[in-house]
Amino acid sequence: MSYPTNRMRRMRKTKGIRALFQETRLSASDFVLPLFVVEGLKGSEAIDSMPGVRRHSLTSLIHEAKQAYSLGIPAVLLFGLPKAKDALGTQAYAKAGIVQKAVRLLKKEIPGLVVITDVCACEYTSHGHCGVLNGKEVDNDTTLVLLQNIALSHAEAGADMVAPSDMMDGRVGAIRKALDKDGYNDTLLLSYAAKFASAFYGPFRDAADSTPAFGDRKTYQMPSTNAREAMREIQLDLEEGADAVMVKPALTALDLIARAKHRFLAPVWAYHVSGEYSMIKAAGKLGWLNEEAAMAESLLAIKRAGADRIITYWAKEAAKYFASA
Ligand code: PBG
């Protein structure tokens, strides 16, 4: 039966009718807010390449997290910028390191907030790579020990969930084993499972001071051309004990979010990354598009593709937007 019996426009006639037929919805509880915390910083500072996002001191971090939590955002994802870097990224697992301090403070000040920590070495290594070098290569198995130490130090500080973003082979299993051995059986593990070597991390590397000093991340992060390989990465991480898996970036991998959602029963999260955020911000500033509408459309597309949760720098704005949309 077709036109004129069927008229699709009937479902679009008024705002109320459109709302009644809306298939995909978002609210504050869909979002996770990434936060940058800097050792020794006073106050907070703007990030040029990410308008609206700031690097935080411990004090301003708590303020920002409280705001997010009061808007209904259930979780934050923490990234730390240490004062000193070295070849082995030792500050990443320091007991009194910046992330460890931030986790303790967040859990004390906002007990209900779920605290997730990014587990990676690139903000802590002098060379900016996500692991320990052997010559010019990132050595997989040595890096696993480093990652175990980082994850353990985060769990000790009270992190609810650790999120390895390094893309080494076997890291999920290695971290799970280390956590369980020390009694952290309940610490959740979110794996950046299908993480692509992407140009869209550019602004983040500015923000986190984590640009590799030489080469690129293509020997560990995935090529964006490979969908079946992405499913294998996810499968392996689930076998190794990941509680939830992530696809990253989001907008250039909507097909993979959808595929992963169909294929696996585990929660599939998506990271709407810095470049995806900043390009809309930039176009919005130039007056080339409506920033708020572009934000909403992007986030809804990620949800429609199948993302169970979305990590986004827009979490606070989006929580407000969708509360009144
Ligand atoms: C650390 C890490 C990166 C991002 C999250 N964790 C950068 C990278 O892999 O180079 C990117 C996040 C973003 O762009 O918003 N490995």
Ligand 1 centroid, distance to 201 Cα (angstroms): 6
Cβ contact 298:26 at 8 Å: no
Which residues face 164 on adjacent strands? 119
* pLDDT of residue 233 exceeding 90: yes
Is 261 annotated as catalytic? Answer: no
Q: pLDDT of 55-107, one tens digit each?
A: 999 999 999 999 999 999 999 999 999 999 999 999 999 999 999 999 999 99
Mean pLDDT along residues 192-203: 97
| Protein residue closest via CA to atom 5 of ligand 1 | 165
Q: pLDDT of 105-141, one tens digit each?
A: 999 999 999 999 999 999 999 999 999 999 999 999 9
Would residue 13 count as lying in a domain? no
Task: Find the catalytic residue in 85, 101, 195, 303.
Answer: 195
Residue 90 class from Cβ within 10 Å (0-12 exposed, 13-18 middle, 19+ buried)? middle
Ligand 1 centroid, distance to 203 Cα (angstroms): 9
| Protein residue closest via CA to atom 10 of ligand 1 | 201
What pLDDT, on a 0 to 100 scale, did the predictor assign at position 236? 98
Q: pLDDT of 145-186, one tens digit each?
A: 999 999 999 999 999 999 999 999 999 999 999 999 999 999
Would residue 319 count as lying in a domain? yes
> Among candidates 202, 37, 215, which has minimal Cα distance to 127?
215
Residue 229 corresponds to which amino acid?
E
Give the domain extent around 64.
25-324
Cβ contact 168:144 at 8 Å: yes
What pLDDT, on a 0 to 100 scale, did the predictor assign at position 325? 78
Would residue 188 count as lying in a domain? yes
Distance between CA 154 and CA 104 in Å, rounded?
A: 9
Structural tokens at position 135: 């010559």
> Among candidates 312, 162, 313, which has minimal Cα distance to 237?
162
Would residue 5 count as lying in a domain? no
| Protein residue closest via CA to atom 2 of ligand 1 | 165
Question: Average per-residue pLDDT in the chain?
Answer: 97
What pLDDT, on a 0 to 100 scale, did the predictor assign at position 171? 98
What pLDDT, on a 0 to 100 scale, did the predictor assign at position 1? 83
For the domain that residue 122 is a member of, what is the CATH number?
A: 3.20.20.70
What pLDDT, on a 0 to 100 scale, did the predictor assign at position 197? 97
Ligand 1 centroid, distance to 59 Cα (angstroms): 24
- What is the number of domains present in the chain? 1
Is 320 annotated as catalytic? Answer: no
Q: What is the three-state SS of the chain?
A: CCCCCCCHHHHHCCHHHHHHCCCCCCCHHHEEEEEEEECCCCCEEECCCCCCCEEECHHHHHHHHHHHHHCCCCEEEEEEECCCCECCCHHHHCCCCHHHHHHHHHHHHCCCCEEEEEECCCCCECCCCCCCEECCEECHHHHHHHHHHHHHHHHHHCCCEEEECCCCCCHHHHHHHHHHHCCCCCCEEEEEEEEECCHHHHHHHHHHCCCCCCCCCCCCCECCCCHHHHHHHHHHHHHCCCCEEEEECCHHHHHHHHHHHHHCCCCEEEEECHHHHHHHHHHHHHCCCCHHHHHHHHHHHHHHHCCCEEEECCHHHHHHHHHHC
Would residue 15 count as lying in a domain? no
The atom of ligand 1 lying closest to the CA of 203 is 14
Ligand 1 site residues, Cβ closer than 6 angstroms: 118, 120, 122, 130, 165, 201, 204-205, 210, 217, 273-274
Percent of the chain with pLDDT over 70: 100
pTM assigned to the model: 0.97
Q: pLDDT of 252-305, one tens digit each?
A: 999 999 999 999 999 999 999 999 999 999 999 999 999 999 999 999 999 999
Would residue 17 count as lying in a domain? no
Would residue 8 count as lying in a domain? no
